[in-house]
Structure 1
């Protein structure tokens, strides 16, 4: 009998109530992991993992939650920062509150969460961190100033943390999705017909189309996350994998 890839591994996933984070948590659970999800929102239905409430914009709440988890768990095998929010606006229309919200959830919250766990990772000398950014971290998007900046910050944060953790045998990588069929994407679109525009491209927003001709599914992203968290990626760290069907040209 084949042992599940993440048998008895302990996995912490933020943004696990819905979308990409929910699917990542479900997939780890299906492959034998003990999963705890963190999210400000409640989950729909009955997820196959524990979900704890946490506001990533609240550093004190992050510290309190992580202290409680460390009393329960003497190790952490995988940390996935999947929580993210989107606020639309350019340099004139974007409010300071929207800018702060994007930075708090998409970059500063993960920083505070990593502060709580990097010491344990260094002590145990094993583990993996996978952070979810966006292809918007690499290419400018009209009207997405705060989102692009916060996701670029997440990429830089990840690479620096990866450099710190590498001497301890702990890996840190980034998965950057493009357009993915999630509630966040649905909230951006006026109707379903706009999905086709994402595939063909939107020139007035300087947005390239998707060469593979389809929107990603949450499983497309989860597949990449689980690979990077697994022993199969044991010599991969400080890398960003862009999962967007070719929308971001390679370098």
Structure 2
């Protein structure tokens, strides 16, 4: 059984959406969380709100992922200085630019890879030595179901999430002897502020209104879209001892919306 007040977990993208809900879920269980996001004010406010509602606590770190190894090193160093140990990492930064392989602006390709692939990788590489110090731990990457069910209108996300699937598998093998697990979580469209941005992008491509795009996006076998709290609870489970034999794989949480093989 996981003793959450012994857990120190880094959560990136933690000032809003899935990242914030994940941090809230972990703090609510008693964990200590280093909440990482770009905006200093939003990050500080989110951490303060979470700490006030305990029973765990959160500390905010304003940091922009630039795609360099130093990013992960700086974040892990800050977590260790704050709490003296690290037991888990949740990579949850980045968005989903709408665009086709030829139509998406080159700069957007680069920006998305910088945050969601190189940023994730830098943090995973940096956190492993800290997890080894405490005898193991878990890394959870919030990827996306497009990595297994390609979406031509989410070309960058499809490519990045597919790359994360491969990276997760081979990294999980490498760190398994140190009792470290690596797992992807694959949301589909989720009820966050990002959903509205995606709807606007879809509307431009399909020449429909954003409201019409939202109606299409919300049509799932479960009758609703996944909510951030659904994903947060899954991540908390995957970080826990109860998920001790889950590693090197991806777990979909999309209400059955993707049409690829299970």
TM-score class, shorter-chain normalisation, is 0.7 to 0.9
Question: Relative to structure 2, which stretch is displaced further, 88-97 or 62-71?
Answer: 62-71
> Residues of 2 paired with 1:132 and 1:61: CA distance?
18
Of 58, 63, 88, the residue aligned with 1:54 is 63
Task: Confirm or deny: 8 A CA contact 2:88 2:131 kept in the other structure.
Answer: no
CA distance in 2, matches of 1:69, 1:178: 30
Q: How does 1:1-40 map to 2 (within 5 A)?
A: 6-40=4-38
Helix, strand or coil at the partner of 2:157: helix
Decide whether the 8 Å contact of 1:14 with 1:83 is kept in 2: yes
Q: Partner residue of 1:68?
A: 78
Instruction: Report the TM-score, using the length of structure 1 for normalisation.
Output: 0.88
Tell me if 1:97 matches 2:123: no
Cα shift at 1:24: 0.1
- The aligned residue for residue 214 of structure 2 is 195
Q: Residue 71 of structure 2 contacts residue 123 of structure 2 at CA under 8 Å; is this kept in 1?
A: no
Instruction: String of CA shifts for 1:167-214, please: whole Å, max 9, x gaps.
Output: 1111111110011101111111244453321133xxxxxxxxx21121
Name the TM-score, length of structure 2 as normaliser: 0.84
CA contact (8 A) 1:122 1:165 kept: no
Which residues of 2 match residues 90-239 of structure 1 at below 5 A?
A: 90-190=100-200, 191-200=210-219, 210-239=220-249
Offset of residue 233 of structure 1: 0.7
Q: What 5-or-longer segments of structure 2 have no aligned partner?
A: 51-57, 201-209
CA 1:185–1:160 in 2, change beyond 3 Å: closer, same or farther? same
Q: Is the 8 A contact 1:13 1:79 kept in 2?
A: yes
More helix by share: 2
Tell me by how many angstroms 1:215 deviates: 0.7
Long gaps (5+) in structure 1:
201-209
Tell me how many residue pairs correspond in the alignment. 240
User: Are the equivalent residues in 2 in contact too, given 1:55–1:62 (CA < 8 A)?
Assistant: no
- Deviation, structure 1 residue 58: 4.7
Equivalent residue of 1:189, what SS? helix
